[in-house]
Structure 1
């Protein structure tokens, strides 16, 4: 039985990943931070697909929150390290220092500690860790969120280094780096028209759907990707 923990697994890309893994027969534990209504809705949609699913409200920026997630999950075969956030689009000089610190806590420090806990949980049995990076990691996102891009570049480095470190334990560590994706992220950061404005810059001429990102995650978690580790798969329309 495949049992997978998905952090930030109840909205946007995380919810799409949960549904896609449910279709592959994964039993799921979905972490979320605040939106209980969305969490319950995603849990119900996953159960309708025939998969066991639990939701856990927990903050991955705290040791207690991470411990709660892994305690609820029990023995696992996979972790999707998806929880993350951005807060505004602005040049770095105009971004408050506390917001920069929070961005690193949510997008790099927390996921690093989740990966650490995942290795401890999988040692002896093996498994797969999929980190969710971002196309911003290599583009730098000048004028928008340089600090977020830097945090996601850290996720790529984490994936490479940890993947090499734990390969002998039968644990694969991989990442998916989505580009412009159709979620409510843009509206929540004050730029609801960003997808329409940015899409012409994408070689394929459009944003991705969360389901397209989820397909990449599902493949990396499957036996078909059994020889893939310590690498990041870009799902960014050529950008």
Structure 2
């Protein structure tokens, strides 16, 4: 499949996601379908809010298969790409992610906690968002001020979230996708953007960043495969539309362009 077809598939994936996980915003209240792990997420968010972090949604309740949260004002979703083109936006997202990771270190998960993605073994585990792409940040004037959609909350080393973010913020994807999918006006300096994000996040363990990227991309594909095999949507439709083949091609691209990234 060529890259233009892949971009069409991305639009299709977004439509499927919206169909299966509809979000309703009424005034200051956001209503979303809940999952078995939603109570764990709400406990986590309440902990962060109690520590003064107003950059995550304030939970209201969970009932009858839906969760309700207080709306965080700003732009997210498809409007996010333009805010993170600048170094200012890039730095603000990295610092916000670091602030959340650090604030969660003293959270005690409930005894019946359920994670949205498999826990990852390692040293100095934090609570990872699991999906910190630009679309899940809330933006105001090129500054990241919030982080939404904690469905994939799980314990993991910091690099788990950071590597995922780099894939989409750098982005570690082809020139065509950077221009057409991420809406950059010209091909970005990925090496500069990766170093800028890492420096702003700060004080990461010494790891091979490109290897961490590849490992995180593969674990994302593996999770999509498992969810699809269990019949979960929208992952089942994504896989039917060729998502795993596209993921394999993007991992190959990172391997082939290692020298351009770090």
Normalised by the length of structure 2, the TM-score is 0.29
Normalised by the length of structure 1, the TM-score is 0.31
